[in-house]
Amino acid sequence: MSSDNSIYHSPAGAQAVMALYDNALAHWPIPFETRQIPTRYGETFVLTCGNPAGAPLVLLHGAGTNSAIWAGDVAEYGRQHRVYAIDLLGEPGKSAPNRPAWDSPAYGDWLAEVLAALDLVQVTLLGISQGGWTALQLAVSRPGRVARLVLLCPGGIVPDRLSFVLRAVPLSLLGSWGTRRLVRLLYGDQPVPEGVEEILVVVTRSFKARMGVLPLFSDAELQQLTMPTLLLAGTKDALRDSARIAARLAQHLPQLTVTLLPGAGHALVDPAGEVLDFLAATAEVVTGCFYQPPGSAWLAA
């Protein structure tokens, strides 16, 4: 992790968040390796695990989290796929605290650099919320780099609900009680996994969340998404209207699969089953060789 603690309220807060992350990695369910990849936007933390012969599956977490969120599903993904969990820039993970402008191509360019360093020519991207928006940034600018796209409650398709902002901001200022109420709001009717509330209390107390809204993608940009795409979202997402997201994507994406989970909120519990069903059904699109051996002359687009 960078020594720059500007995205935390204090050095002690940064240490508390990293202690939680390191504990999650110490209990990672399958063998893994990590590396820090230099990019023009700062160092990027990548955790690699799973089937070495499997098609590459890139995981992108959401805002206010890090790659530890995949611990519950990664063993299932790793049976058939080589998994690359990437920490987003400027979030409470082990990548650089840099926060490039959202209304620029920076995040797509950054992700392309990371994939080039990993010698990955074409991948399946799985992103949740802001991670879904980041996946879309790469997919609309470099559609040939993305074999399949899995979007969990993605940003950038429809505006966020103002009602959520009006509830979430005051709750975030009310200490642990408010954070626990916010967690309940994010999960909808789903049970909150054990330990999530305690982790979010520490993160909310320690981390300076990024303010602002994710820019919406234009119709022309969405029309670049001709690859098989899964939208997975909850019917009780307090942050975004999942039915409106599905309707807008259906207007522009020719190979869209939509699964709306009854009662699920913005934070999805155990989505691996639906994701793996989609990946199995579309496996024929990744039967080619999309891995370039280290030392190749291939460059990022």
Q: Could you tell me the pLDDT band of residue 189, with boundaries at 50, 70 and 90? A: confident
Q: Which domain holds residue 182?
A: 11-285
Residue 121's SS3 state is: coil
Residue 186 has a pLDDT of 81
Other beta carbons within 10 Å of 64 = 15
Beta bridge partners of 85: 47, 59
Give one DSSP letter per residue of 189-223, joined into a string: TSPPPTTHHHHHHHHHHHB-PPPS-PPPPPHHHHT
81 assigned to some structural domain: yes
300 assigned to some structural domain: no
Q: How far is CA 299 from the centre of its chain?
A: 24
Is 301 a residue whose pLDDT tops 90?
Answer: no
Q: How many domains does the chain have?
A: 1
Tokens of 109: 């360019």
200 assigned to some structural domain: yes
Question: Residue 119: which region, alpha, beta or left (left: phi > 0; alpha: psi -120 to 50)?
Answer: left
Residue 121 has a pLDDT of 92
Residue 269 has a pLDDT of 87
Q: Could you tell me the pLDDT band of residue 191, with boundaries at 50, 70 and 90? A: confident
Is residue 184 classed exposed, middle or buried when 0-12, 13-18 and 19+ CB atoms within 10 A define those classes?
middle
Residue 4 has a pLDDT of 52
Is 46 a residue whose pLDDT tops 70?
Answer: yes
5 assigned to some structural domain: no
117 assigned to some structural domain: yes
Tell which wins on pLDDT, 98 or 189.
98
Residue 181 has a pLDDT of 74
Q: Output the domain CATH number for residue 235.
A: 3.40.50.1820
Of 68, 91, 74, the closest CA to residue 19 belongs to 68
Cβ atoms of 298 and 117 within 8 Å: the answer is no
Q: What is the pLDDT of residues 215-252, one digit of tens each?
A: 999 999 999 999 999 999 999 998 999 999 999 999 99
Is 297 a residue whose pLDDT tops 50?
Answer: no
Give me the percent of the chain exceeding a pLDDT of 90: 73
Q: Could you tell me the pLDDT band of residue 188, with boundaries at 50, 70 and 90? A: confident
Cβ atoms of 224 and 140 within 8 Å: the answer is yes
Is 24 a residue whose pLDDT tops 90?
Answer: yes
54 assigned to some structural domain: yes
Residue 70's SS3 state is: helix
CA 135/CA 232 separation, integer angstroms: 14
Most confident option among 2-11, 163-172, 255-264: 255-264
Mean pLDDT of all residues in 194-209:
87
CA 230/CA 234 separation, integer angstroms: 13
Mean pLDDT of the chain: 89
Length of the chain: 301
Give me the percent of the chain exceeding a pLDDT of 70: 89
Is 96 a residue whose pLDDT tops 80?
Answer: yes
Tokens of 279: 């990946």
294 assigned to some structural domain: no
* 146 phi and psi angles, rounded to 5 deg: -115, 110
Beta bridge partners of 147: none
Is 8 a residue whose pLDDT tops 80?
Answer: yes
Other beta carbons within 10 Å of 251 = 10
CA 236/CA 266 separation, integer angstroms: 7
Q: List strand residue ranges (DSSP E) for 3-134, in order.
A: 32-37, 44-50, 55-60, 81-86, 123-128
Residue 171 has a pLDDT of 65
Cβ atoms of 38 and 27 within 8 Å: the answer is no
38 assigned to some structural domain: yes
* Contacts for 27 with CB less than 8 Å, ≥ 6 apart: 71
Residue 173 has a pLDDT of 63
